[in-house]
Amino acid sequence: MGVVVLHGFGGSPATVRPLAEALVGAGYSVEVPRLPGHGTSVDDMVPTRFADWWAAAEQAYFRLAARCQDVVVAGCSMGGALAVRLAARHPEVAALVCVNPMARPVDPALTEMVGLMVDAGEVVTPAGSPDLADPDAHEPAYDAVPLAALVSLHRALDELQPDLGRVACPVLVMTSAQDHVVDPADSDHLAAQVAGPVERVTLHRSYHVATLDHDRDEVARRSVEFVRRVAMSAPPATGEG
């Protein structure tokens, strides 16, 4: 069993490292791609678009599927949207794990406003501090948001809607009760739209970046338990001869 773990917009693999390490510790093969333009300098992210991040996520899935009979896809925030798309477009995906996923269309007025900023020649805008309840936690994320890249994400969330109903595998959705980046209603929307069975977990002590926050151990534990159950229910590998 393998697991692809995907970070969010403006973040890096460090955002999901505790989750990935827990899965590795449980004996699973794990791919944690650094999405194009992420984890270096915000200037590197400026020319990238959702299509670039999707291509990297799908390639990570292909690499893992080449060496594992069954693959689970997992993601936080935008990584959750990417994971949903993988589960929808690759029906052989064994299961889906989402932590505070982006899943609903963005308010068109907001997308229009950001588009006007881009048309006016603005390239980036300041980003807020990482949304963490734990004062000792730190997410190495960009301090600016590339605007054209953000518009591409908004459009991708619109395009994601028909994919939601195509997700037929088991789904684990973990949602922070307080999230100042992605409305918890996104998790409700995802859970209501997918075709597969859904398990919900509410995270009461964490904000958006729950993979690094007070509930990071709970996120890791629940994910490992979920993947283990999926692996136990998977049909055994068949050999030749």
Place of tokens 């599927």: 65
Sign of CA dihedral 231, 217, 219, 63: negative
Dihedral of CA 239/228/26/195: which sign?
positive
As a whole number of Å, the CA-based R_g of the chain is 17
What is the SS3 string spanning 136-167?
CCCCCCCCEEEHHHHHHHHHHHHHHHHHHCCC
Residue type, 241: G
Q: Looking at the annotation, which residues are catalytic?
A: 77, 179, 208
Which of 11, 146, 23, 136 minimizes the C-alpha distance to 77?
11
User: Helices (DSSP H) in 4-98: which residue ranges?
Assistant: 17-25, 42-45, 50-65, 78-89
Helix, strand, coil percentages (3-state) for the chain, rounded to 5, are: 40, 15, 40
Residue 91, both tokens:
């029906």
